[in-house]
Structure 1
Amino acid sequence: MFSLDSLVDLAQTSLLVSLISILFNPVAWNIVAQNEHKHKTITRMFGGNARYGCYFLAVMIFSFGMVRDSLYQRALHDQPRHAMLPAPFDSIVPAALFLVGQTFVVTSTWALGITGTFLGDYFGILMDHRVEGFPFNVLRDPMYVGSTMSFAAAALWFERPAGLFVTLYVYIVYVVALRFEGPFTDMIYAKREESRKKA
């Protein structure tokens, strides 16, 4: 029987840095996006062009996501290694998780487009109608689910039990972020519908 100390090395700074980066991304982007909706800060930086502002935020979100993933891999490397699945499932399960997870992420981005994926609605760039095709006909939040699956896949592939604890943390962070993001986005579209009815 394994003790928690043998599974997770809490003394590793890389683990703390990874946890901070995972929390930073959704919190920062929600704050930035809500500020943009209220004050148009980024739009003004680009001479009033909301689309350019959204593209700038998209590059920032994508770049910080890459940094987060790199920090997670470093944290996994520094953690104790233990086999969690018997062969051949130790390769099949994480590969399948990663493939399905990335399918959700990529197809979500494809369905929503750049502005739909990267908070364009906060810039006033609204979609004509709700996307209901795949993967949104399977999951309400396929991008967050796919990302969480990819975290779990890496933990299983590299045989780092600490990665599964981090994956649980990722899931909790996303659930909390959605409690803020979802209602705010719904409010933006509800306001548009009200203005359409008045027009």
Structure 2
Amino acid sequence: MSSLAELVDFSKTSLWASLAAIVFNPTAWNIVARHEYRNKTITRIFGGNARNGCYFLAVAIFSAGILRDSLYERALKDQPRQAILPEPLNVIVPALLFIVGQTFVVTSTWALGITGTFLGDYFGILMDHRVEGFPFNVLRHPMYVGSTMCFAAGALWYERPAGLLVTVFVYIVYLIALRFEGPFTDMIYSTRATKSSESKKEL
């Protein structure tokens, strides 16, 4: 058995840069989105057009995601290589993980739309009803699960045990993010339901 020190090179700057990007993305977007919900800063920058503001944030989130993935790939290549799965599973398993993971991510985005995916509810762009079709009828948080699967696929494909450690880190970060995102989003929709109910009573 190889020791952790032989499998993971903690001295590589690329590893820490990758971990920092993984933490930064959901943290930053939660902070920015909550600030937008309370102060409408981005909406005001776009002349009061909430939809354009949301599209701007979508581009920023998507771009940061590409950077995060690039940093992860660089980190993997800088880490020690060690066979994890026997042939031909070392090709089949990561390929399947990536395909299934990307399917969850892409179909989630398709089902939610741009504003539904990229925090439109914080801009006041709310969906009329909860999305219950695929992949949400399979997983509660398919986008986060799919993303985690892709991280694992990369680790197995490049045969870098350090990547599996990063994948566990990603999963933990997502779990923490969901503890903040879920209740806040529920509050937004609950507030709308309350206001709608009050409006109906007044009529």
User: TM bucket by the smaller chain?
Assistant: over 0.9
The reply on whether 1:106 has 2:141 as its aligned counterpart is no
Moved over 4 A (4+): none
Counterpart residue number, 2:115: 115
Give 1:191 deviation, angstroms: 0.4
Give 1:70 deviation, angstroms: 0.1
- The separation in 2 between residues aligned to 1:3 and 1:95, in whole angstroms, is 27
Counterpart residue number, 1:52: 52
State the AA in 2 paired with 1:135. P
Give 1:160 deviation, angstroms: 0.2
Q: Structure 1 length as normaliser, TM-score?
A: 1.00
What do residues 47-69 of structure 1 show as CA deviations (whole Å, max 9, x unaligned)? 00000000000000000000000
What do residues 21-79 of structure 1 show as CA deviations (whole Å, max 9, x unaligned)? 00000000000000000000000000000000000000000000000000000000000
Counterpart residue number, 2:86: 86
Counterpart residue number, 1:195: 195
- The separation in 2 between residues aligned to 1:172 and 1:48, in whole angstroms, is 36
What do residues 153-174 of structure 1 show as CA deviations (whole Å, max 9, x unaligned)? 0000000000000000000000
Counterpart residue number, 2:30: 30
Counterpart residue number, 2:142: 142
What residue ranges of structure 1 are gaps of 5+ in the alignment? none
- The separation in 1 between residues aligned to 2:76 and 2:43, in whole angstroms, is 38
What residue ranges of structure 2 are gaps of 5+ in the alignment? none
The reply on whether 1:13 has 2:4 as its aligned counterpart is no
- The separation in 1 between residues aligned to 2:186 and 2:75, in whole angstroms, is 36
- The separation in 2 between residues aligned to 1:48 and 1:125, in whole angstroms, is 13
- The separation in 2 between residues aligned to 1:78 and 1:70, in whole angstroms, is 13
Give the match's secondary structure for 1:137.
coil
State the AA in 2 paired with 1:115. T
Give 1:192 deviation, angstroms: 0.5
- The separation in 2 between residues aligned to 1:41 and 1:178, in whole angstroms, is 24
The reply on whether 1:77 has 2:86 as its aligned counterpart is no
- The separation in 1 between residues aligned to 2:120 and 2:14, in whole angstroms, is 33
- The separation in 2 between residues aligned to 1:44 and 1:142, in whole angstroms, is 32
Count of residues in Structure 1 that have an aligned counterpart in Structure 2: 199
